[in-house]
Structure 1
Amino acid sequence: MTPIRRTISAASLAFCIITLLELASRTDAASCSPEEEQLFSCPNCGGIEVSDCGQCDGYLFTDYRRSVCYDRKLFSNEGEGNFLWVDIDLELASAVLITAEGIASILWFLTSGICTACGVGGGGIYVPLGILLMRFPPKSSSGLSQASIFGASLGGILVNISKHHPNEHIRDTRGVPSQDHPGKILSYEKDKGPAAIEADRAAYLDEGDGKRKFYTRPVIDYDMALFLAPMEMAGAVLGVIFQRLFPDWLFVSLAAIVLGFTSYKTFQKFISKRKKDKEERATFLRLSMAESSRINTEHNTEHEGTDNTETANGTIEMTNLENAAEFKKMDSSESDEDDPIELEKRRHFLQDDSRQYPREKISYLILLWIGLTVITFLKGGKGVDSVIGVTCKDPGYYVLLAAQFLWTLGFAAFFGVKNMKMTQAKQAVNYPFLETDVLWDAKGVTHYAGVTFVAGVVAGLIGIGGGMVLGPLMLVMGVHPSVSTATTASMILLTSSSVAVMFVMSGLVPWEYAIYFFSICLVGAYIGKTKIDAHVKRTGMASILIGCLAAIIGLATVGCLVILFLNLDNSGWCIGGFKAFCVIKNEADACPVRLLIEAEDLFPH
């Protein structure tokens, strides 16, 4: 994309956002007053009326036609009010309900596999489906989405934790510097056919000091996760604060605009990557055919019989010797100048990076998760109240809010500096950085920290997971798609697990639904990611992952638009303005469990 087109795209996005903000600022926040809200009867409190059935314990589902809250059971027609949402007889209603949940099971299974393979949670798809297909209220749908993402990300971890980097033949030589990527080296397999590649690898192992071997890495980039994940989380905290100020229609509109723009940019990346993959594949096939053609031509010029076999074998051997000689010529210039101490240090870094389960890095991720979970439970969030009863009117709330920033930003700063020092140490010994590696220098750390923080703000503001923002960001950074998807999928596990437990414990999501869809997504993610990764490895078309990511973000955009118009329709197309930051629910309008006993005494059956 040319600079002019980039400027036009950015300007168009900014114009849409500014227009929405201006509209919200000119709208009176009280224009959609509580008096205009529809009230619903809560059965377990003797008919008390609530504005949100999420306040009605055990009766979370809403029938807008009859203005009542009702209960539902998974794959069952038992329970009061199970079929209040349809104007048909019970037998047909039962079939409709079970069919909807059966269809949802299939969609959740397929979605989890595709989303996990692409490194996103899928909340932008699960939430609209939960509302439209499952008829869940928004908060419950969000909670069900978090449970589903938790299961899917866990299934993805089971696959990713043992997988290697796409390049399993990393060498300890300094390589040929890349002109397009300063500080990195060209791939040894570039512009070579299969026979040349094998001969080149054999020559590498035969040369040197006898200690040569091939290195690889985990497909999960733990160093990147330890830096980007907490930075994105810090941005999300600020984004959630903004979300509390924005009316629902505004942040859903912003979600549609940002996701639509991200989908468009990701699709462009898919087109360019797909073209590159096809060119590399065509080059590889052309070289393979050229090698085979040369061997067959020389073979056909000789006599038939034993002499033919010997000649053919001699031709293959000669081809391999030529390829090996080419490698030796390139390698000799490196070996002549390679300092033994420098080589030993380089091998130490390569060996350290090749550890499949780096315990200290995994321990740091667990520590980050523990701290985040504890603070989240104490402060509350995502529509769930604090476990210690802290509200935004209490000083303790702002202490915990500050603790969230200090914990996440402190983690990011520590590992940003650590990554930068590690890169400098590797560069000092001519470490063979791949073209898809990220070089963490002062400029890069500052740039990506800022971009990731802003991405987190956007994710928290519009209510989506970080994967839909971080995934495209990593692609812009030049990270290999397989590494990008595996790393973001692992980061999603950190946030989805604690939030999912919060929703279930709060009663906003029926536990049987949470466990069922958690299991469906775990199995779907494991099977789907295994199959998709195998296809990518077999074909070499990593661009497939980028294309799926663009499609998922596009579907999430459509889902946001559908929810936007449904919400506006339910509110009588009332467009409210900015809201107050701190609003406490009126307990008189709520229906806590403790009132159930009082209701039974006052309104005996």
Structure 2
Amino acid sequence: MAAAAGLYGRLNRSSTRGFLAYVAAGAACAAVLACFVIPAAEPRAGDANGGLRLSSRSARVWPDLAFNWRVVVATVVGFLGSAFGTVGGVGGGGIFVPMLNLLVGFDTKSAAALSKCMIMGASASSVWYNLQVSHPTKEAPVIDYKLALLFQPMLMLGITIGVELSVIFPYWLITVLIIILFIGTSSRSFYKGILMWKDETRIQMETREREEESKSSCAARDVVIDPSCEEPLLCQPQPKEKSALETFLFNLRWKNILVLMTVWSSFLVLQIFKNNSQSCSTFYWVINILQVPVALSVFLWEAVQLCRESRARRMDGNWECVCEASIEWSPAQLIFCAFCGLLGGTVGGLLGSGGGFILGPLLLELGCIPQVASATATFVMMFSSSLSVVEFYFLNRFPIPFAVYLICISILAGFWGQSLVRKLVHVLKRASLIVFILSSVIFASALTMGVVGTQKSISMINNHEYMGFLDFCEK
């Protein structure tokens, strides 16, 4: 147990500067590309549209829920995407939106709304499953509530920013930014998975060698030992086993959950007021700005607590981590976490996902073991996706029968995925499987978003549609 816990702490010490440089370079390339593409798309003087047809807001297209090959294929893809997406802690919005848009036939906005429904269903079932399992290495909940409190408010604020940007950003630019980010995060996660796999292999080999040496020494001395202690690792003091109910109650942290629910409710109320106000009016912008102090207040409250606990432990000579992340909490680290939370939420708002494409890899980067990273990211996504679902319901953005059907599929997939993968991890003693699943889902999302984005951009070019920034107040 101690070796497994120390493994991820050692991997965490690898530098993230290369990845950050990659993201910055990718954003710079996208900005330079925008400087060349957008001026070419600007209307010419003397012509109202400069020979270009302004891209209209997508019309609502809601196919009927009927048993046909499209729905069957979408069910299979949605089930597998939900199962493995929640195991990796990324949700799967990058797969759901193209699937619902191209395969089933929903318009882009409705597909994004239904994607949130699927993420909510899978996340809720995964959280229920994770509340009934124990932490693999120590006496603690598998969901890290401290990290959830740190990231959830910034993630929700980022989702609001992402939704606003999706109104004005051209589709091709959103596609380029998402592909750059997804390829970077999937590559980084895959690299960490390889390192974890190698260290797990080394630990297993050392364990077998110690067992063989112990058995050989016992046989040489001709000592009779307890058959139940033939494997030394199993004879170490083990934590007291809890019943299913005791584990469930132990994993619940009502104080933290109430704080998260308060943040969720505050954002919901503000979103409802914003959606019922006139776009770009004074009241609209006041409601928008009010979301900033709500998010910052909770983030700073949790950040101050983490700094104080970390400093108090160091002064007492206790170098144990305050929470699952094996880093030394400092203002610089907390600012970095706030930025990543905003970035993850912004990507979620642009894409129609829950923000897990950033949060899952980030938690691994901070030093969380894969089981905790997956459980915590899924827990945070449950709040962010459910907020969007309630908001979209009031806006009548998705058909109820289709939403209920997809939510049921995702709930079943969440249970199946968590149960299957956790059993594989337990049998093979390879938690790196979760990291490989995470990187695979992100890469698949980059691939599908790239294909869909390229196809739509080519169609817009052929139809001479406007490909520059749109007017926010004309939405």
Q: Is the structural similarity TM-score above 0.5?
A: yes
Tell me the equivalent position of 2:335.
446
Alpha-carbon offset, residue 235 of structure 1 = 3.1
- Change over 3 Å in CA distance of 1:13–1:158 after alignment to 2: same
- Stretches of structure 1 that go unaligned for 5 or more consecutive residues are 40-49, 55-59, 62-71, 77-97, 169-215, 300-310, 328-353, 380-385, 585-605
Task: Say if 1:113 and 1:443 are closer, same or farther in 2 by CA, change over 3 A.
Answer: same
> CA offsets, 1:303-341, max 9 Å, x none?
xxxxxxxx3239999998xx99xx9xxxxxxxxxxxxxx
Partner Cα distance (1:441, 1:368) in 2: 24
Matches within 5 A, 1:97-496: 98-168=68-138, 216-299=139-222, 311-313=223-225, 355-379=250-274, 386=275, 388=276, 390-431=277-318, 433=320, 437-461=326-350, 464-496=353-385
Q: What amino acid is the match of 1:100? A: R
SS in 1 for 2:40: coil
Whichever residue aligns with residue 417 of structure 2, its letter is: G
Distance across 2 between alignment mates of 1:318 and 1:579: 70
8 Å contact from structure 2 (residues 75, 409) kept in 1: yes
- After TM superposition, what 4+ stretches of structure 1 lie above 6 angstroms from structure 2? 1-5, 314-320
Structure with greater helix share of residues: 2
What are the superposed Cα offsets for residues 101-146 of structure 1, whole Å, 9 maximum, x if unpaired?
1121122112211111111111011001111221211111111111
Q: Is 278-287 or 469-478 further displaced after alignment? A: 278-287
Q: Give the match for residue 597 of structure 1.
A: none
What do the CA deviations read for 1:420-474 (whole angstroms, capped 9, x no partner)? Answer: 2233334444446258544433343233223433444444455543100011111
CA distance, structure 1, for counterparts of residue 57 and residue 268 of structure 2: 30
Kindly state the Cα deviation for residue 35 of structure 1 after the two structures are TM-superposed.
8.6
Amino acid at match of 1:414: W
**8 Å Cα contact 1:504-1:510 kept in structure 2:** no
Change (3 A) 1:4 1:417: closer
Instruction: Report the counterpart of residue 538 of structure 1 in structure 2.
Output: 427
Distance 2:31 2:424 in 1: 43
Of the structure 1 ranges 460-469 and 426-435, higher mean CA displacement relative to structure 2 is found in 426-435
CA distance in 2, matches of 1:317, 1:128: 54
Alpha-carbon distance change, 423 to 5 in structure 1, aligned in 2, over 3 angstroms = closer
How far does residue 503 in structure 1 lie from its aligned partner after superposition? 2.7
Percent identity between matched residues is 25
Task: Tell whether the 8 Å contact from 1:118 to 1:545 is kept in structure 2 after alignment.
Answer: yes
Separation in 2 of the partners of 1:283 and 1:423? 33
SS at match of 2:303: helix
Match of 2:470 in 1: 579
How far the C-alpha of 1:22 sits from its partner, in A, is 1.8
Larger radius of gyration: 1
Q: 1:296 to 1:518 in 2, by over 3 A?
A: same
- Distance in 2 (CA, whole Å) between partners of 1:245 and 1:494 is 26
TM-score normalised by length of structure 2: 0.84
Name the SS of the counterpart of 2:120 in structure 1: helix
Q: How far is the alpha carbon of 1:279 from its aligned partner?
A: 1.4
Classify 1:132/1:3 alpha carbon distance in 2 versus 1 (closer, same or farther; 3 Å): closer
> Which amino acid in 2 is paired with 1:373?
L
Does the 8 A contact of 2:268 with 2:391 survive in 1?
A: no
Deviation, structure 1 residue 296? 3.1
Q: For residues 30 and 545 of structure 1, do their structure 2 counterparts lie closer, same or farther at Cα, with a shift above 3 Å needed?
A: farther
User: 1:370 offset after TM fit, Å?
Assistant: 0.9
With over 3 angstroms needed to count, the CA separation of the structure-2 counterparts of 1:278 and 1:317, relative to structure 1, is closer
TM-score by length of 1: 0.67
1:485: Cα distance to partner? 0.7
Alignment partner of 2:449 out of 560, 574, 590: 560
Q: Distance in 2 between matches of 1:317 and 1:246?
A: 64
**Whole-angstrom CA distance in 2 between matches of 1:112 and 1:477:** 25
**Alignment RMSD (CA, Å):** 3.2
Hey, what's the Cα distance between the residues in 2 that align with 1:272 and 1:431? 28
Alpha-carbon spacing, 1:524–1:455, altered in 2? closer, same or farther (3 Å): closer
**1 CA distance for matches of 2:178 and 2:343?**
14
2: CA distance, partners of 1:228 / 1:4: 21
